[in-house]
Structure 1
């Protein structure tokens, strides 16, 4: 899992740690919603709460391939990325060298990479060893907005806006890629009442922090989207569709991400009726079965055994 937590990234890590059908074999920490330093501390805190500190925590990128200083989003995720929560000082988050990514690939031939952050670290892995990255079974990427407004500009979603060079490098060179854009993830809304129900019925320390961080996230979203009743968990939707691929509708198209300053991060695909499917087996989720998503999210977070998918 490549990530930059961030509230929805953090909840996605919780989901991955609690899902009985997911074996999380490594986490790459990078810049994105906040600095790599804060993202790393947040991941380490979640692993500590879950009692899973044996999962490798790997150091990723600190800025995009353009070299520009990244923009962070404390107004959405809080100053340190977990809303009102600050991990205790004894949580350090010691990072392993990035080469650990390739060791994990060698150990796990049936591996899926899930990237819910900026794609810089994934592109860096390609530059360092394209052959090893080519061994990956499949990729699930949260990013993009197709024929729908962005969330960081009028055109662009935050992950693809953050490093369009990296996204294009990845899309041009690899196959079996699933993109989960705002078209689907914006529909994965969780309310304060749902979070409250989970916290009241769960029996694990990891979920104990869910209520304050989701409350913070929802309050931030209400300022951005007047009338919204909750907040979309973009990165959790990405994992949900990995484990439940029939719970959304997708279309196969080749994709390009704009790099020009004015339209930076805009997701481009040909959706005309006679356009051709992707030559590289790139699939884009355009919709989500919301009721099934909510049902699954509650079951996983509470800890009910939903079976291996």
Structure 2
């Protein structure tokens, strides 16, 4: 059965790997990709999305502009990428790696109004559509704030949050996607939408190795060498940040995509989540004490993962994506 998908992403390196997971998957109907801020600016994320779609022969799939800064930022200034995000993804979101697409290849367009696109798609398809959000939840929050009646129709898979692990942000409590717009995430969790949360509780168990990077570079053609260059930057940054990542670097966003396509990869715990909005714990995901005695009917958080099966699927689907991309880019 074909699965309809919308990606909402701040396309850095692991978002790129997540998109390649989709490119290498069968029976997928990708309706569009919406950019957001976080790892890079929204403008850069959208450019990256358009380039990846074109490189995969998907010029017909639209890339949309999303909201360019957090919901709590009411200033006129532009969003500035956090130093920590840039350290893991570089200024262009690919650690300086370059994706060269021949001029002869069909190039799709970049469209405005990504939030309106998401709203229309959820209205039309309901839970037959899965929205996968691998960046801050600002676009999703805006959609539900403008159209609250869509919440019961929204099937959402999120990469974000930390419940049983230390955070990966500056305070070691918050997870990056949550802290980049805590208010938006908190409203989404309380919206009534059907939400699966894939946080660092499970992504830190789902690791890529330098051996994967080397294999992609040797066997993946032009696409593989591009991805390997980006992975090298990401792996180096992870290893420099924490010695725990000498065992491997987390496949954050690809796991969220994989769970959207195959929920059996993870075991989930139903929980009414909230996000702390004040003080040093701002951005922390935690059970909502006001709802502790209420049934957790809408939100579930992944706490265990079949990492071996997932990583094998990730590698296989990535090579399928390389084959598709090399037909466009040229295999030399």
* TM-score, length-scaled by structure 2: 0.83
Tell me if 1:50 matches 2:56: yes
Q: Is the 8 A contact 1:40 1:93 kept in 2?
A: no
State how 1:281-300 maps to structure 2 within 5 Å.
Answer: 281-300=298-317
Task: State the Cα distance separating 1:102 from its structure 2 match.
Answer: 2.8
SS in 2 for 1:23: strand
Tell me if 1:123 matches 2:141: yes
Match of residue 129 from structure 2:
111
State how 1:63-212 maps to structure 2 within 5 Å.
Answer: 63-67=69-73, 69-72=79-82, 73-87=85-99, 94-98=110-114, 99-109=116-126, 110-136=128-154, 138-152=155-169, 153-202=171-220, 206-212=223-229
Q: Is the 8 A contact 1:199 1:302 kept in 2?
A: no
Match of residue 279 from structure 1:
296
**CA distance in 1 between partners of 2:80 and 2:180 (Å):** 7
Task: State the Cα distance separating 1:202 from its structure 2 match.
Answer: 4.4
Name the CA shift for 1:70/1:254 in 2 (closer, same or farther; >3 Å): farther
Tell me if 1:218 matches 2:230: no
Q: Is the 8 A contact 1:58 1:101 kept in 2?
A: no
Name the CA shift for 1:266/1:171 in 2 (closer, same or farther; >3 Å): same
Task: State the Cα distance separating 1:87 from its structure 2 match.
Answer: 4.9
Deviates more, 1:281-290 or 1:243-252: 243-252
Query: CA-to-partner distance for each residue in 1:243-279, whole Å, 9 max, x for gaps?
Result: 22222221111001000131111111279xxx66743
SS in 1 for 2:165: coil
SS in 1 for 2:157: strand
**CA distance in 2 between partners of 1:261 and 1:41 (Å):** 35
**CA distance in 2 between partners of 1:81 and 1:93 (Å):** 20
Task: State the Cα distance separating 1:48 from its structure 2 match.
Answer: 1.4
Task: State the Cα distance separating 1:49 from its structure 2 match.
Answer: 0.9
Q: Is the 8 A contact 2:41 2:81 kept in 1?
A: no
Query: CA-to-partner distance for each residue in 1:146-202, whole Å, 9 max, x for gaps?
Result: 132100121100001111100111111123210111100111110121233245444
**CA distance in 2 between partners of 1:20 and 1:95 (Å):** 26
State how 1:212-251 maps to structure 2 within 5 Å.
Answer: 212-227=229-244, 228-251=246-269
Matched positions, count: 299
**CA distance in 1 between partners of 2:223 and 2:239 (Å):** 26
Of Structure 1 and Structure 2, the greater helix share is in: 2
* TM-score, length-scaled by structure 1: 0.89
**CA distance in 1 between partners of 2:293 and 2:164 (Å):** 17
**CA distance in 1 between partners of 2:288 and 2:185 (Å):** 17
SS in 1 for 2:259: helix
SS in 1 for 2:183: helix
CA RMSD of aligned residues (A): 2.4
Match of residue 307 from structure 1:
none
Q: Is the 8 A contact 2:60 2:108 kept in 1?
A: no
Structure 1: gaps of 5 or more residues: 305-309
Q: Is the 8 A contact 2:152 2:194 kept in 1?
A: no
Of Structure 1 and Structure 2, the greater strand share is in: 2
